[in-house]
Chains A and B, each alone.
Chain A
């Protein structure tokens, strides 16, 4: 049997770094409930990037996504005592994340509508829309498809989907959830997941038609 060699620098051996084994979600939750506050920190560290990225895809705003991700974990912190193991923690966390994003988008849309209704016809409404940056209302597809990088193009296409279609395409294509998991997160039937995904993809095919024509040959 060959003996493993250990590098030596300055007289001290450098031992291969070993990451501490990751604790499972259920163990972390149990520890937290038992009074170990560092277990909650571990849950946040484990999922913060995924939660933040989901928010970013949903609301297309880094600052808002950062705040939303905090809100998600605050809710998790407050509700974790009621968490039941009917679903995995991951699914439960995503349900909270999705709801936070949808609430945010609805509030934002309502606010825009109120501002729009309360403005007199002479006011510069274009400036108001620009400040609020609602992707569904202000986006110009032709400009993005032709001029922006791939990432921007895709994010712009996602941003043009309705909230329902946006969330389902993110859960499926970005997060890789199964239909059953998506149905649990969204509290809907598997059939609804199936039909909404179909609609989301039909819409994306339209929005990404230029991109798909350009990349058709390279995909073969």
Chain B
């Protein structure tokens, strides 16, 4: 990666997220068509994103969180009625 490309690397990450604006965006868009290294870097970012978004969402094990939460809140209310569910 050239020195010029290194200067773009932080912006490249923001560009990938669609969060780059103004002059920085224009400069990077002018640079990209002629730079294989930066385009390759964008592909790496996409591969990382693809991998991370493939991470499965896991349901909480044991038992539903709500059930355990209700027990804790009921216990708290018993100990201190001021903390009861309807006291907000």
Which residues from chain A sit less than 8 Å from chain B, CB to CB? 32-33, 35, 37, 40-41, 44-45, 48-53, 56-57, 62-63, 65-66, 69-70, 73-74, 77-78, 80-81, 150-151, 154-155, 169, 172-174, 178-179, 194-195, 197-198, 201-202, 204-205, 208, 211-212, 215-216, 219
Provide the residues of chain A in CB contact with B57, threshold 8 Å: 49-50, 53
Q: How many A-B residue pairs have CB under 8 A?
A: 110
Provide the residues of chain A in CB contact with B13, threshold 8 Å: 194, 197-198, 201
Contact between chains at B17 and A179 (CB < 8 Å): yes
Contact between chains at A44 and B52 (CB < 8 Å): no
Contact between chains at A219 and B66 (CB < 8 Å): no
Q: Looking at the complex, which one of A48, A65, A216 makes contact with B64 (CB distance below 8 Å)? A: A48
Q: Mark B48-80, 1 if CB is under 8 A from A, else 0.
A: 111111111111111011101110110000000
Provide the residues of chain B in CB contact with A169, threshold 8 Å: 52
Contact between chains at A40 and B47 (CB < 8 Å): no
Provide the residues of chain B in CB contact with A194, threshold 8 Å: 10, 13-14, 19
Known: A32-B88, A52-B58, A205-B48. A44 touches B10 (CB 8 A): no
Contact between chains at A70 and B43 (CB < 8 Å): no
Known: A45-B66, A219-B50. A37 touches B17 (CB 8 A): no
Known: A150-B51, A151-B56, A219-B43. A80 touches B88 (CB 8 A): yes
Provide the residues of chain B in CB contact with A173, threshold 8 Å: 48-49, 52-53
Provide the residues of chain B in CB contact with A37, threshold 8 Å: 85-86
Provide the residues of chain A in CB contact with B44, threshold 8 Å: 205, 212
Provide the residues of chain B in CB contact with A32, threshold 8 Å: 88
How far apart are A49's CB and chain B's nearest CB, in angstroms?
6
Most buried by A among B49, B54, B65: B65
How far apart are A194's CB and chain B's nearest CB, in angstroms?
5
CA distance A76 to B35 in the complex (A): 49
How far apart are A70's CB and chain B's nearest CB, in angstroms?
6
Q: Looking at the complex, which one of A150, A195, A212 makes contact with B48 (CB distance below 8 Å)? A: A212
| 8 A Cβ contacts from B9-32 to A | 9-10, 13-14, 17, 19
CA distance A154 to B54 in the complex (A): 10
B43 to A, closest residue via Cβ: A219
Known: A205-B48, A219-B43. A77 touches B19 (CB 8 A): no
A150-B51, A201-B45, A208-B48 given; 8 more Cβ-contact pairs under 8 Å:
A52-B58, A52-B65, A66-B68, A70-B68, A73-B69, A154-B55, A205-B44, A215-B47
